[in-house]
Structure 1
Amino acid sequence: MTIDTTTDAAADAAATAGDLAERLADVWIELEERLDAVPVLRRLAEGTVTLHDYQRLLFNLRQQVVDGSPWISRAASNFDIEHFTLRAAAIKHAEEEHRDYLMLERDYVAVGGSLEELRAGRKNLGSEALSGYMFTYADRPNPVGLLGAMFIIEGLGAKRAAGWAARFQETLGLADSQVHFMRYHEVADGNHTGDLEAILTSGIVDAAAADEIVRCAQVVARLYALQLEELDR
């Protein structure tokens, strides 16, 4: 009698992917609840946000955004040949994002900010913690857990950035050219989340990797919210 292990393996992979999706959805719900309490985002929702608030948000985001492509590149260099799919995806992603900070800088200048002051700025407390965590994790051999970080960061771009941009425009009367960074990421990060979903459901993520992905998503969700809470500190 021959036992068909192929079917069993496929079923196990499907179950792992389904469980992972549910766990990440729970992390996302917690993040949404925390973001609703962030002062600048609460003022945005209430319609009391100011131009200075928008400038501060861009100023603080820029200091972390410039680190995005470098930590992705570092992660790519630490995937071995057995994780070629993830290495290739990371290299492609880093290449696509390494100029993103320039869009943010243009938006900042377009709303009256000083480029010199922006580039001389430093990370706030939350951004320091977030970037430090990302680079440290990226230094691990085969840092598969960073897929959880991408779930959070790309998810925010795809699901929240355009809404934030529209609300800033509605409240402050801003032009499209002054919110280009946020609007761009609705489309770009939407494509990235599609690529991520394909990886997470491909069967290459086992139970141990799923645990790492969820844990990384939890940490990054908390630290990303923290950088929004700690503007200018």
Structure 2
Amino acid sequence: MNAEAGRPDAPLAKTHRQLAQVWIDFESALMTVPLVSRLHAGKWRIEDYRALLRNLRQQVIEGSRWIARASSSLTPTHEDLRSMFLSHAQEEHRDFRMLEDCYVAVGGAREEIQNAPKNVGSEALSAFMYHAASKPDPVGLLGAMFIIEGLGNRIAGPWSELIQKQLDLPDEAVSFFKYHAVNDSHHLDEFDEAMEMAVTSEEVGADIVRHAKIVARLYRLQLEEIDNV
């Protein structure tokens, strides 16, 4: 990081502070979601886990698609960001298959999870992602990545442990969460690099923070609307 970016009042430092607050608010709000609060209270049933997997798959399968869309909307001004986005999309485009395998491992039918429609929260999240990704130079979507990769890095691990303990499941039944608990730390390192390249002004930083706030709310909506199609 250059000396200017390290100054407390520099746009990058300010953006990181604001994103940290967005995350704190998001994590706190997640605890009010019925599905999540039951998990932390030790009251989950196998049906709760199947519902989570079934509803997450539809969002996960879209993830690499909107990242690829965003990369195609980046102009040569952001050539390095475009390469990073494309690499990220390639890494994640088969992640949904892990969700399917987990679903089968806990007694669900693969055809059932494959054919499940998006819930109303997932529809809203997906629509916003594609809308934002289609704009010229959608650098603000780094805020979306901050939230989604943060879920993998900071929440997937603890959730996998709670789910395994309550439902007495083998590792293969929570493999999606365990994988992301480890792998998304690498993605957050890439996120830091992307932020150094992208945050050239307070305006850019504010746009990233705004996208993070929107995606945090829509992701929570997705969990609030489990099986509401």
TM-score (normalised: structure 2): 0.95
- Asked whether the 8 Å contact 1:66–1:101 carries over to 2, the reply is yes
> Counterpart in 2 of 1:3?
none
Q: Percent of aligned pairs with the same residue?
A: 47
Distance in 2 between residues matched to 1:84 and 1:196, nearest whole Å: 15
Separation in structure 2 between the aligned mates of residue 44 and residue 9 of structure 1, nearest angstrom = 44
Determine if contact 2:55/2:227 at 8 Å carries over to the other structure: yes
The secondary structure found in structure 1 opposite 2:69 is helix
Q: Do the aligned partners of residues 203 and 141 (structure 1) sit closer, same or farther apart at CA in structure 2, a change above 3 Å counting?
A: closer
State the SS of the aligned residue for 1:179.
helix
Q: Give the corresponding residue for 1:33.
A: 28
| Partner residue in 2 for 1:153 | 148
Distance 2:8 2:219 in 1: 30
Does residue 218 (structure 1) correspond to residue 213 (structure 2)? The answer is yes
Instruction: Confirm whether residue 56 of structure 1 aligns to residue 48 of structure 2.
Output: no
Which residue pairs with 2:16 in the alignment?
Answer: 21
- CA deviations 1:88-113 (Å, max 9, x no partner) are 11000000000000001000011011
Instruction: Decide whether aligned partners of structure 1 residues 76 and 230 sit closer, same or farther in structure 2, where only a CA change above 3 A counts.
Output: same
- Letter of the 1:33 partner, please give it: S
Matched with 1:97 is 92
Which structure 1 segments of 5+ residues have no match? Answer: 1-6
Say whether the 8 Å CA contact 2:5–2:11 is kept in structure 1.
no
Q: How does 1:177-188 map to 2 (within 5 A)?
A: 177-188=172-183
Gaps of 5+ in 2: none
Seen in structure 2, the aligned counterparts of structure 1 residues 198 and 114 have a Cα distance that, compared at 3 Å, is: same
SS of equivalent to 2:101? helix
The match for 2:119 is 124
Contact 1:14 1:201 in 2 (8 A): no
Contact 2:152 2:184 in 1 (8 A): yes
Report if aligned partners of 2:11, 2:202 keep a CA contact under 8 Å in 1.
yes
CA displacement at 1:199 relative to structure 2: 2.1
Pairing partner for 2:60 from 51, 65, 79: 65
Aligned-pair CA distance for 1:208: 1.3
After superposition, what is the alpha-carbon deviation per residue over 1:23-74, rounded to whole angstroms, capped at 9, x for unaligned? Answer: 0011111101110111111111111110000000000000111100000000
Number of matched residues? 227
Distance 1:120 1:162 in 2: 27
Assess if the C-alpha contact under 8 Å between 1:14 and 1:203 holds in 2: no
Name the SS of the counterpart of 1:174 in structure 2.
Answer: coil
Q: Provide the TM-score with structure 1 as the length reference.
A: 0.93
Deviation at 1:201, TM superposition (A): 3.3
Tell me which residue corresponds to 2:83: 88
What amino acid is aligned across from residue 123 of structure 1 in structure 2?
K
Larger radius of gyration: 1
Match of 1:207 among 182, 192, 202: 202
**Aligned residue type for 1:218:** K
Distance 1:8 1:17 in 2: 11
